[in-house]
Amino acid sequence: MLISRFLVALTLCVCVVACKRETPKAVTKPDAAAFVADGGGDGSVWVVDGPNGGRLFLCGTIHILREKDYPLAPAYEAAYMYSNKLVLELPPGAASSAELTSRMSQLGLYPTDTSLQANVSKETWESVKKWAGKHGMEASSLNRFRPWFVALMITSIEYAALGAKPDKGVDSFFEERAKQDGKPAEGLETVEFQIQLFASLSEKQQRELLEQTLGEVSSVEEEFEKMIKAWKYGQLDDLKQMLFREAEKYPDLMNLFLTARNLSWMDRLDQMLKRGEKVMVLVGTGHFTSDTGLIELLRKRGYRVRHYREVTDF
C-alpha cells in the first residue's frame, strides 16, 4: 500500500526528499556507446509526439541512486541529445540550497511545549528509540521533530546506508549536465510546494507514516533492488504494484502525492507540445503509473505515446 511502501514511493514520486544534495562531480560527455543497449534494460523513457513537431521525452527518474546503478539506459542519453531543454520537478539549483534545509527544519519542528514522544504512541516512541540506538543516535535528538520529518530522516539515513545518494539521482545527473552544456532547464514545482506536501499531512497521517516507515526499515534493501530492476527495464506494472498495494485505502494520499500533481502539470506539458518544443521531462517514475499517470493522461488528450524502444523516427 502507498503509505506502507513509503520508503520506496519517495524515490519515485517526490524530489525534495532527496535533499540536501552535494554538488555532483563534473559529467563526462558520452561517446557513441552510450546509445547502444548493453543488456541492462531499456529504461523508463516514453516519447510523446504532438503537432508542429513537438516531442516530449518522459524520463522516469529515481531521486536517489548508487554508483553501481550507472550507466543509465541509452534512452536517457538519446532523450538528452534530442531535446532543446530540460524540465525537472524542481528548478535547477533548488534542491541544493541552504534555504531548503532551513525551511524543512522550520516546518518539521514542534513548538517548544510539545514533542514527538507526546504525539505518538508509546510503541512508536520505543521503535524510534530502538532505531536511533542502532544508528548511534540519541532519541532525544529526534524528539523536537514532527513525525513526517522524522520519517524523512529515517528514509535518508536508510538509503545512505545502501550507498544511495541524492547527487546520484537521475534528475541531479542531468541537471548538472545541462548546466555544463548551457542547456535551458526549468522546474514544474517550487521547493515550498513539495515541502508542504509533507507539512500539510494531518496528525493521524503523520503518525501512520512514521509507524509504517519504522516497520519497513528491515526490508529497504530488498524493496530498493526490486524497484531498481523494474525501473531499468521500464516495467510499469511492477512499479505500479509496488506503489499502489491497497492504495484505495488512502485516496487522499494518492491524490496529494501523485494524481493532483500530475493533473497540475498537464497544461504546461500540453503547451510545450503545441509550441513544437522538444523537451526532456525528468520526473519520478511513479508519475507514469496508473490511469491518472502522465502517460495515460497524455494519451487521453490525443497524443501518441510510445516507449523509447518502439521509436525509430529520431
Per-position DSSP letters for 132-156, written without gaps between them: HHHTT--GGGTTTB-HHHHHHHHHH
Q: Please say if the pLDDT value at position 246 is more than 70.
A: no
pLDDT over 90, % of the chain: 61
Rounded to two decimals, the pTM is 0.87
Give the pLDDT band (50/70/90) at residue 11: low
- pLDDT confidence band for 120 (50 / 70 / 90): very high
CB 143 within 8 Å of CB 115: yes
Tell me whether strands 85-88 and 185-187 are parallel, antiparallel or unpaired: parallel
In 154-165, which positions are buried (b, 16+ CB within 10 angstroms) versus exposed (e)? bbbebbeeeebb
Say if residue 183 is exposed, middle or buried (CB neighbours under 10 Å; 0-12, 13-18, 19+). middle
Mean pLDDT of the chain: 86
Three cell numbers, residue 139: 532519541
More confident residue, 98 or 218: 218
What would the pLDDT profile of 33-78 be if each residue is shown by its tens digit? 344 444 457 899 999 999 889 999 999 999 889 999 999 999 999 9
Q: Which residue has the cell 506536501?
A: 197
Which pLDDT score is estimated for 149?
Answer: 93
Q: Which pLDDT score, from 0 to 100, does residue 208 have?
A: 87
The pLDDT, as a whole number, for residue 30 is 47
Say which residue the cell 505515446 belongs to: 305
Q: Give CA angle at 313 (53, 286), nearest 5°.
A: 80
Residues counted in the chain: 314
Band of residue 103 on the pLDDT scale cut at 50, 70, 90:
confident
String of b and e for 5-36 (b: at least 16 CB within 10 Å)? bbbbbbbbbbbbbbbebeebeeeeeeeeebee
Is the pLDDT at 16 greater than 70, yes or no?
no
For residue 184, pLDDT beyond 80: yes
Give the model's pLDDT for residue 26. 47
Residue closest to 41 by CA, chosen among 228, 196, 212: 228
pLDDT of residue 14: 61
